[in-house]
Amino acid sequence: MSGQPLELWFRLRGADGAIGPGKVRLLQAVRDEGSLSAAARKAGVSYRRAWQLLDEASRAVGQRLIETSQGGVGGGGARLTSSGEAVLREFQQLETVLEAAAEPALRRLANLDGD
Amino acid sequence: MSGQPLELWFRLRGADGAIGPGKVRLLQAVRDEGSLSAAARKAGVSYRRAWQLLDEASRAVGQRLIETSQGGVGGGGARLTSSGEAVLREFQQLETVLEAAAEPALRRLANLDGD
């Protein structure tokens, strides 16, 4: 085994919904784009689907994750709340932390050749 | 968030194939059943598919993972090689290790309420 051998996927399940890579990508897109419709486009989902996903993410965490500067069809500006920023940051860090934690096992697996 | 909130999934990708939860489950079934046909049945795949999956797992790790006591259609006895045992053990430990590594981030996410 060589290269970057570990692929990780993880999801947090709350009492009322879950948040995983897709919703985190959407949060990142909201952050980057400053608009929910642009974020939905970037993530390759409909505006309506983006709302649903972010609503589920919000319920999973029990916090509002985005705030919009105006409502209406097509949406106005949107940005992450401090909770949204925290969720995004924790997920991004989790990937690094988990890869580091897996490193010893990966090394042992790579050395099975000596068996 | 409460209960057991983190769902983890991971896969090791080798130069020539990958090994993830399905193949690990199959290794476990070979270990439990002592027979490839019984393991395939337990894992809910065909005998032929079980062979393919274990062959891919073996190529991913670069080691033989199972040995059979006799060949032929339907297969005879099968058991894990020492490499197969090691792969199974590492995967099972990885889950525990990764959950422990994720714990601080999970605690912070659970405490977002204070935001």
Euclidean distance between CA atoms A70 and A28, whole angstroms: 20
Report all structural domains of chain B as residue ranges with CATH numbers, in order of start.
21-114 (1.10.10.10)
Distance from CA of B113 to the nearest CA of A (A): 7
| Amino acid making up residue A107 | R
**Which residue of chain A is at minimal alpha-carbon distance from B9?**
A9
pLDDT class of A1 with cuts at 50, 70, 90: very low
Q: In angstroms, how far is the first alpha carbon of chain A from the final one?
A: 15
- All residues of chain B having their beta carbon less than 8 Å from the beta carbon of residue A82 are 115
A68 DSSP β-pair partners: A78
The per-residue pLDDT for A72 is: 58
Taking the complete model, does pTM exceed 0.80, yes or no?
Answer: no
Euclidean distance between CA atoms B39 and B25, whole angstroms: 9
The per-residue pLDDT for A108 is: 86
pLDDT string in tens for chain B (115-residue length):
444 477 888 888 877 888 888 999 999 999 999 999 999 999 999 999 999 999 999 998 889 999 988 755 555 799 999 999 999 999 889 888 988 998 888 888 877 764 4
CA B53 to chain centre: 11
Any chain A CB within 8 A of the CB of B62?
yes
CB atoms within 10 A of CB A42: 17
3-class DSSP assignment, residue B5: coil
- All residues of chain B having their beta carbon less than 8 Å from the beta carbon of residue A18 are 7
- All residues of chain B having their beta carbon less than 8 Å from the beta carbon of residue A12 are 1, 5-7, 106, 109
